[in-house]
Amino acid sequence: MPITLTFHGAAGCVTGSCVEVETPRARLLIDCGMFQGPKTLKALNYGDFPFDPRAVDAVLLTHAHLDHAGLLPKLVKAGFTGPIHATAATRDLCGVMLRDAGGIQETEVRHLNRRNLRRGLPQVGPIYTARDGERTIRQFSKVKLGVPVEIAPGVRAIYWEAGHILGAASIELRVETEAGETSFLFSGDIGQGGRDYAADPEGPAGVDHLILESTYGNRDRLNLAPPERRAALAQELRDAHAAGGPVLIPTFAVERAQEIIADLVALMEAGEVPEADIFLDSPLAIEATEVFQQRGYNRTTGVNPFDRLRAGGRLNFLRKPAESDRIERLRGWHIILAGSGMCDAGRVRKHLKRLLWRREATVLLSGYQAVGTLGRILQEGASRVSIQGDEVQVRARVRALDVYSGHADAGGLVAWAQARAPVAGAVFLCHGEPAALEGLQDRLVGAGFDQAAIRIPDLDAAYRVSGASVEGAEALSVPRSPRLAPGAAVKADWHNARVALNMALNAALAEAPSDADREALLARLAGVLSE
């Protein structure tokens, strides 16, 4: 019996990572992530899994980001009872992250249901609850880097340092079949190396099939050494201080928040930026910080860079909503870090509503912004945005500092893939938008990889693999209706278009010279709607 790979997420987009691996004797998942981005894409989180969770024998988890681990509680809730294999740091981070994700869903659903009651719409439920998140952690099974572990009959796995976030791993899978052993290497998210916050990525050479992330597959980014990275941050902070207002940094709670705070503390201690109160307004990031302080040892540098957070005298943890509300009264120079990193949920939206219209304020984007998210809309220069149903004019300085990414750029991905050579079979490119996927494919071909061996899967595409030959990796037809139209994952959807139309209409009505002109405009729109 051949081996089948099915890409249930991160196919043509960067979220929802999930690969089903069916072997002659087991059914496994590599990751079980949440979809993020446009509402049409996020709707997949609420639908049924395209497989039977009860038939899955085990999950192999690369790391503790929501787009890789965020649907694990839903999987357990749907009947999965097997082990979730992960490093100790990934388990600890998931212990706080999954509970927090469930709590956020419960809160947002309560608010939505109140609005639905007023609108006469049906009530909805969360994807999972905080208790579901807590329950899921009981199924975690700890693995050590470099130590083979028996996953299922005929299946062994070895976890390798990925250099992405604390605990992140690439997963080597060795599967026994009647024809012999076939090896796979799932990259997970690959770090750029040379960082004081994460060890350099590693991995075996000479695998049969490589499954490679492509987030920045078409981009060469600045790979700054730690002193240069801090210098870039310092310049942004000095400019923000000169503008006269606060800095809001939308940040991912796991790793990004801790990295930035450590740099902020170091810069203030060195006198390179004006001292300021730093507010971490994210209960998840606060709990994650404690994990980083405990487990943040960098095997490459031999130090734990997060130890300095213990001595950050100007660092304030805002755990309760009331504490978050109180900083609204602050004016002048201070720094707020709040989730989410893409501005799509959490406390950051409240701060954006309060600060975006103020010219003296600065919003500093610090990571990847997926299509359709508020962060992406701000990054692309929107003059007006809609936040929780309210229109807000963007007068604040919106800046992007792309030096904290935990992802390798195109050159780094190619170099990492070359170090895994020779790859005897197929190279599957996933976890990237179309331009990034195609760009990485071109770069890999330029580096000597066979173009015929490179596959770019669509959502739910399945491939049958026999041994190591590339001819054995053929796409299978998927009998079910597609869960998402081709290309829909990486473009603004009708929800985004509706918001844009509403704001454009309001602007046109405000700018019209008279009430008669406004009435004429509305009449024309009504005529179109009645056609």
Query: Residues 57-98: pLDDT tens digits?
Result: 999 999 999 999 999 999 999 999 999 999 999 999 999 999
Residue-wise pLDDT for 403-451, tens only, equals 887 889 999 999 999 999 999 999 999 999 999 999 999 999 999 999 9
Compute the average pLDDT of residues 302-313.
70
Strands 169-177 and 180-186: antiparallel
Same domain as 301, residue 196:
no
Tokens describing residue 44? 């997949």
Tokens describing residue 198? 């994460």
Least confident of 29-33, 136-140, 311-315: 311-315
Residue 463, strand partner residues: 5, 475
* Cβ-based neighbours of 123, under 8 Å, separated by 6 or more: 113, 116, 117
Cα–Cα distance measured from residue 335 to residue 314, given in angstroms and rounded to the nearest whole number: 10
Compute the average pLDDT of residues 338-359.
90
Give the number of other CB atoms < 10 A from CB of residue 351.
25
Give the number of other CB atoms < 10 A from CB of residue 327.
18
Same domain as 362, residue 348:
yes
Q: How confident is the model at residue 183, as a pLDDT?
A: 96
Residue-wise pLDDT for 470-480, tens only, equals 665 666 655 56
Among 368-382, 403-417, 504-518, the range of highest mean pLDDT: 403-417
Tokens describing residue 440? 């990485």
The residue from 342, 374, 400 where one domain ends is 400
Q: How confident is the model at residue 353, as a pLDDT?
A: 93
Q: How far is CA 413 from CA 209, 276, 451, in A?
A: 16, 37, 16
For residue 261, what is the domain's CATH number? 3.40.50.10890
Same domain as 411, residue 394:
no
Same domain as 125, residue 144:
yes
Please count the structural domains in the chain.
Answer: 3
Residue 128 has pLDDT above 90, yes or no: yes
Same domain as 239, residue 180:
no
For residue 126, what is the domain's CATH number? 3.60.15.10
Residue-wise pLDDT for 229-286, tens only, equals 899 999 999 999 999 999 999 998 888 898 899 899 889 999 999 999 999 998 888 8
Same domain as 144, residue 64:
yes
Q: Where are the alpha helices (DSSP H) in 3-154?
A: 39-42, 66-69, 72-77, 88-119, 130-137
Could you give the angle at the alpha carbon of 394 between the alpha carbons of 389 and 397, nearest 5°?
140
Same domain as 352, residue 272:
yes
Q: Do residues 126 and 106 touch, judged by C-beta distance below 8 A?
A: yes
As a whole number of Å, the end-to-end CA separation of the chain is: 57
Cα–Cα distance measured from residue 480 to residue 44, given in angstroms and rounded to the nearest whole number: 15
Cα–Cα distance measured from residue 186 to residue 189, given in angstroms and rounded to the nearest whole number: 9
In this structure, the dihedral spanned by the alpha carbons of residues 381, 382, 387 and 389, taken in order and rounded to 10 degrees, is: -170
Residue 324: asked if its preceding bond is cis (omega within 30°), the reply is no
List the domain range (segments joined by +) for residue 391.
226-400
Same domain as 232, residue 210:
no
Cα–Cα distance measured from residue 134 to residue 216, given in angstroms and rounded to the nearest whole number: 33
* Phi (first) and psi of residue 151, to 5 degrees: -90, -45
Same domain as 22, residue 158:
yes
Same domain as 370, residue 251:
yes
Q: For residue 492, name the pLDDT band (cuts at 50, 70, 90).
A: low
Same domain as 90, residue 73:
yes
Question: Which among 278, 290, 281 has a CA at the least distance from the CA of 338?
Answer: 281
In this structure, the dihedral spanned by the alpha carbons of residues 449, 453, 456 and 462, taken in order and rounded to 10 degrees, is: -150
Q: For residue 107, name the pLDDT band (cuts at 50, 70, 90).
A: confident
Give the number of other CB atoms < 10 A from CB of residue 56.
23
Q: pTM value?
A: 0.85
The residue from 400, 421, 439 where one domain ends is 400
The residue type found at 511 is: E
Q: How confident is the model at residue 498, as a pLDDT?
A: 75
Q: Do residues 213 and 413 touch, judged by C-beta distance below 8 A?
A: yes
* Helices and strands in the chain: count of H runs, count of E runs: 15, 23
Residue-wise pLDDT for 140-182, tens only, equals 999 999 999 999 999 999 999 999 999 999 999 999 988 889 9
